[in-house]
Structure 1
Amino acid sequence: MVEIKDRPAIDAMREAGRVVANALAAVQQAAGVGIRLRELDEVARDVLREAGASSPFLGYRPDFASMPFPAVICASVNDAIVHGIPGEQVLRDGDLVSIDCGAELDGWTGDAATSFIVGTPRPGDLELIAATRRALEAGIAAALPGGRLGDISHAIGSLALAGGYGMPADFGGHGIGRRMHEDPHLPNRGRRGRGFPLSPGLTLAIEPMFIAGGDDDYGVADDEWTLSTADGSRAAHIEHTIAVTEDGPRILTLP
């Protein structure tokens, strides 16, 4: 079931989204050569705690996982696409890091992700991140009242195809609101004019995930959470929570 939110609900989601944005900014600022991923998780926990928010990630256990997720961020490095568990791994010069974070505040949820380079960047990594960001921007721009979910999917998928990037099959964005994952599912590939209608009050997490090598295949690590590229190439993941409004898309997870 898809819940259409009114203006007060969207405003409340904006406050949750602000917490997410602050957590991502704090994590990126703290990331550096020699920092352990678990230290970045502690940074995000502090931001959530100070805001009076809780984490929709911590303890989350979907059907595919034998254990609940043990952290408040997903920290995916280099060939890890999404869902990386932040543990003892130490960041090295040139690492490509994707951080996904959520927050629950006053009964409403925000969800966003960013990718960045630690230390000295590789040109290809910078372009991969830039392409993923352009796809997110294109997807957001397509979230117009009167349109369809397929318009967003097509905008993202077209940029992946044009750039020769892969995207993990079966993964994409989702509805969001009172819970982190709500209907509808939002594929990162699709056809214009198809799918669920984009009505004012629909809230979505839009999240392109680009694979540099162009392969859509991925593997799942022994931790049953981390998705990594099958071809060993690097990946980027960037996400915003948005609301469809009469005046166009409203981004809820900006700082």
Structure 2
Amino acid sequence: RGLAWWHVVRSVLGVFWLLQAVRMRNEAHAVVRSFVGTVQEFRQVCFRAQCLRSNICKLQLTVRNFLQRKRQWCEIVAKQWTHYEDQYLISALKPLGQRSEDTASTEQQQSPGAERRRRRSRGTMTPVSASSADSGPDWRRFQVPASHRRFTLGRWYIAQVRRTVQRKQYWADIVRQATQQRNDMNKYLQLLGAEQPRRTSITMTRSDSKTRLRVAMANLPMLALESTIGLGEVEALELIRLAAQELHDVPPFHDHPANK
């Protein structure tokens, strides 16, 4: 009987030892599992950080290229701006110069010594200089400063780029809707059985349509953005007037022809 009790006690102790071993193994497994999960999360965080860094670098490169293209475009168009601005100022200030010359000549004729000076001038005729022939208001002081001109041209360039992108997106949406409507119509005809002989050639999944649309958009001729954005005389004059109105509080632009 004592031996039987000993076997019972040993069996109970063995069960307790086995439970303790299983418990320790489960705890170790939980620790290892937690460590592996932490390492996996850390790797995911590192991967996401690398993706974010790559996207930031791509964005910086894109913005840098865009600013460089904008700067080059502004430098090219600045010559046209200067040409149109000079013509505009000369044509706008020429009547003022003629009016001032007429007023000065009238005052000289009405002065008491005008006849005496006229007689003296008949004896000694002096050649007329180019500066006296081009007398009148100095139109060069009304030219828009280079810094504000670059700002105005850059702002107009960004607006034109935004408009071009919106136009392309609009046409892409139209093509996508037309493709989807064609696919829906083909499926409807297939259900009616009207296109049974051509079923193999008409059947097109959504992925196939997207692939064809992507290929068609990729095969379109790519034109340089700068070739579609130009500065004509009308646009240049509008920008010149806008810049002069923005500089209204800066002398002498309060006397600019665009602010009258």
TM-score, normalization by structure 1: 0.20
- As a proportion of its length, which structure holds more strand? 1
TM-score, normalization by structure 2: 0.20
- As a proportion of its length, which structure holds more helix? 2
